[in-house]
Chains A and B, each alone.
Chain A
Amino acid sequence: KQEVTQIPAALSVPEGENLVLNCSFTDSAIYNLQWFRQDPGKGLTSLLLIQSSQREQTSGRLNASLDKSSGRSTLYIAASQPGDSATYLCAVRSNDYKLSFGAGTTVTVRA
């Protein structure tokens, strides 16, 4: 059974600092890994999708890396802004179609 862990559970930084969010998973047999953002009371917005054959993906200020063999992914957000405040979820798609989620990292960016 795939277990996904996200560290830290919460993070508070001043505006302009870079954010580093960690995700680890127990079973390296994955199709892909997806990072989502969830604002309070809202749905999930997909940020980045990394296929199992890829090492990283970038979109604007966001960069996600994947080390499948060690079961780790890291989401970097450069030059954080107050609008980046949200909960960030890591989700791993296993070979059985399931998407297993971590509990999330709640980020607060202080102006």
Chain B
Amino acid sequence: DTAVSQTPKYLVTQMGNDKSIKCEQNLGHDTMYWYKQDSKKFLKIMFSYNNKELIINETVPNRFSPKSPDKAHLNLHINSLELGDSAVYFCASSQSGVDGYTFGSGTRLTVV
């Protein structure tokens, strides 16, 4: 069973479109995250939710809106996509406290 699953794995879309990426975890963790890996492979946190509450919101354009319907799901919606949004987006989860993070396999977003 996949612990943290993201869909879709690949997403190619035109500038100006709106798209969503979904993430689900079956580990029973209470905290979920979105990370962005840019072309230089550097991973940076975007958002974090703990028990459906937003706890980390880094400096991200407000075109990006996370939504957590329950603690097992964290979706990322992106409005008015721009070329610079092209990257790999990773979902992750952890149990608050001392556990490590588990990452999904990533969604490669290409904006053309």
- Chain A positions within 8 Å of B, measured between CB atoms, are 31-32, 34, 36, 38, 41-44, 46, 49, 51, 87, 89, 91, 93, 96-101, 103-104
User: Which of B96, B100, B104 is the one whose CB lies under 8 Å from A46?
Assistant: B100
**Structural contact, A43 and B106, CB atoms closer than 8 A:** yes
Quick one: which of B57-103 are within 8 Å of A by CB?
90, 92, 96-103
- Chain B positions within 8 Å of A, measured between CB atoms, are 31, 33, 35, 40-45, 48, 50, 55-56, 90, 92, 96-106, 108
A7 to B: closest C-beta gap in Å: 15
Given A32-B100, A51-B98, the answer on whether A99 and B45 have CB atoms closer than 8 Å is yes
B59 to A: closest C-beta gap in Å: 12
